[in-house]
Amino acid sequence: MTHAPEAHHAARPTTRISTGELIGRSEGGVDRYLGVPYAAPPFGKRRFAKPEPVEPWAEPRDASEFGPTSPQTPYPGRIGTILPSIDRPGEDILTANVWAPSDAMSRDREGLPVVLWVHGGAFERGGAALGIYDGTSFARDGVVFVSINYRLGAEGFSVLEGVPRNLGLEDVVAGLRWVHDEIRAFGGDPARITVMGESAGGSLVAALLARPDSRELTAGAIVQSGPTSAEHAEKSGELSSDLAKRLGVPATKEGFASVEPQQLLRVRQEQVGGKSILSGAPAYVLTLDEDTLPVTPAEGLESARQPVLIGANTQEYRLWFAPEALAAIGGLKFWIATKALKISKQAVAAYKQDWQSSNRGEVLGQLITDRLLRGPAIFAARNRTASTYAYEFTWKTPKHGLGATHALELGFVFDALDTDDAKMMADHAPQSLADQMHADWVHFIKTGDAGWPQFSEAKKVRLYDETIGLEPVPREAALGALLD
């Protein structure tokens, strides 16, 4: 049960939720409440278990700082110079952060629209406290913005005997329930919650639509460059089984709980070594499970009645492969990779035709981008009967040879081009593009309508570049050969 907000003071606003009073911070007409627990710390006896309720607090709780991050290691090598990492020590990692207009309670009696942000990071990195995820721009535009942390890596996505599947997803569901139950205390409307995520976060958002219990709590979804697949436990469990052998413990709850989180991380680094997507680096994925994920995120997207905004970036692969690595890909490596990805000869030929001026590495990169991210987004748009809006982010940054790479759109969506996190990927990016892209996302969150024709009507996607327009699906024939 939530309670009415307490008195508001200019610098230190207060509100009361079901577990106690919060003291936040106010700046520029936006109130923020950070590091608010939505579930108990998942350590000790709660390690490798489903999230449990928070113990209430008696005294007002300071909510002016972000909470701890889920245990993780920085991105390695080249990616570590491009994507920011964050490490805030502590066990109280299952926390939410809220940004709301200071006058939210007086704006709308029923409450303002809400968006719940789920960060990405390949299911083993990232955190809500990254500067680029600051929710001020959304609150400024009349949206109550919430972000959450969830368990990552071995703690959140192991497949072990005696451990519920998809614990990281279970955390996100618990966070969504918390938003639904508590958001009125911040001026939000629990009937107008849009869930939004990028990369692994986009996959988790699609997974929310695949579960009846979480789907019913959402009014809409935004999936940015999110994989929509899930594996059976036999396949997804291979990573955990190998990790157990390296640790010298059984692949069970007791075995992994006997190992400190930092030791799990060290052995995970040894497991990956210097491998990449091309050389078979084992990756955490979602697992099909009757209790926690009964159908794939793709099936969840297809059947959901909520409006969906979905898309990808043209050159997602440029984040994972440096230009020199792409140039070094020869015929044998190209052939092995396409076989591993189960890409047909017809699709390979179509992509070579569309990218005649590109080397094998660039063609392979486009195949990987479209097989893992762009293709599933278009496939979902084609198969949904509910309102669906498709986009492709095509603006290219010259920095690090990234082009229109994975995660580049984040600085534009959050209208945060001036943050250090955004500048790690692009300098001198066009503010006009950020203005429009952010406005489109806000419009969708508020109305369920992105502001351009639905995919089912126009069969077109919104292209975000220096010039923004609605166009037929780019390279549609080649994409069709890949998806068939």
How do residues 84-131 score in pLDDT, each as one tens digit?
A: 989 999 999 999 999 999 998 777 678 999 999 999 999 999 999 999
Residue 2: which pLDDT band, with cuts at 50, 70 and 90? Answer: very low
In sequence order, what are the residues at sequence separation of 6 or more whose Cβ sits closer than 8 angstroms to the Cβ of residue 83? 75, 319, 407, 424, 425
Residue 5: which pLDDT band, with cuts at 50, 70 and 90? Answer: very low
Q: In the prediction, which pLDDT does 341 show? A: 85
Q: In the prediction, which pLDDT does 7 show? A: 46
Report how far residue 48's alpha carbon sits from residue 83's, in angstroms, rounded to the nearest whole number.
28
| Residue 254 three-state SS | helix
Q: Please give the average per-residue pLDDT across 6-22, as a whole number.
A: 82
Residue 206 in this model has a pLDDT that exceeds 70? yes
Q: In the prediction, which pLDDT does 172 show? A: 98
Residue 3 in this model has a pLDDT that exceeds 90? no
- Distance from the first to the final alpha carbon of the chain: 49
Q: In the prediction, which pLDDT does 173 show? A: 98
Helices (H), 99-192: 104-107, 136-140, 153-157, 167-182
For 202, counting Cβ atoms within 10 Å of its Cβ (0-12 exposed, 13-18 middle, 19+ buried), the class is buried
Q: In the prediction, which pLDDT does 277 show? A: 64
Mean pLDDT of the chain: 94
Of 267, 393, 373, nearest in space to 320 by CA? 373
Residue 374: which pLDDT band, with cuts at 50, 70 and 90? Answer: very high
Strands ordered across the beta sheet of 460-464: 25-27, 30-37, 95-101, 144-148, 112-118, 188-198, 220-224, 308-313, 388-393, 460-464, 469-472
Q: In the prediction, which pLDDT does 279 show? A: 62
Per the DSSP assignment, residues forming a β-bridge with 101 are 30
Residue 8 in this model has a pLDDT that exceeds 90? no
The residue with greater pLDDT, 54 or 356, is 54
Q: In the prediction, which pLDDT does 278 show? A: 60
Count CA atoms within 13 Å of residue 128 on its CB side: 31
Q: Please give the average per-residue pLDDT across 334-358, as a whole number.
A: 90
- One-letter amino acid of 376: P
Active site residues: 199, 316, 406
Over the Cα atoms of the chain, what is R_g? 22
Q: In the prediction, which pLDDT does 259 show? A: 97
Q: In the prediction, which pLDDT does 106 show? A: 76
Of 226, 247, 253, 243, nearest in space to 123 by CA? 226
Residue 198 in this model has a pLDDT that exceeds 60? yes
| Range of lowest pLDDT (96-110, 180-194, 257-271, 416-430) | 96-110
- Note the pLDDT tens digit of each residue in 241-281: 999 999 999 999 999 999 999 999 999 999 998 776 666 78
Per the DSSP assignment, residues forming a β-bridge with 98 are 33, 146
- Note the pLDDT tens digit of each residue in 127-173: 999 999 999 999 999 999 999 999 999 999 999 999 999 999 999 99
Residue 4 in this model has a pLDDT that exceeds 50? no
For 20, counting Cβ atoms within 10 Å of its Cβ (0-12 exposed, 13-18 middle, 19+ buried), the class is middle
Residue 10: which pLDDT band, with cuts at 50, 70 and 90? Answer: low
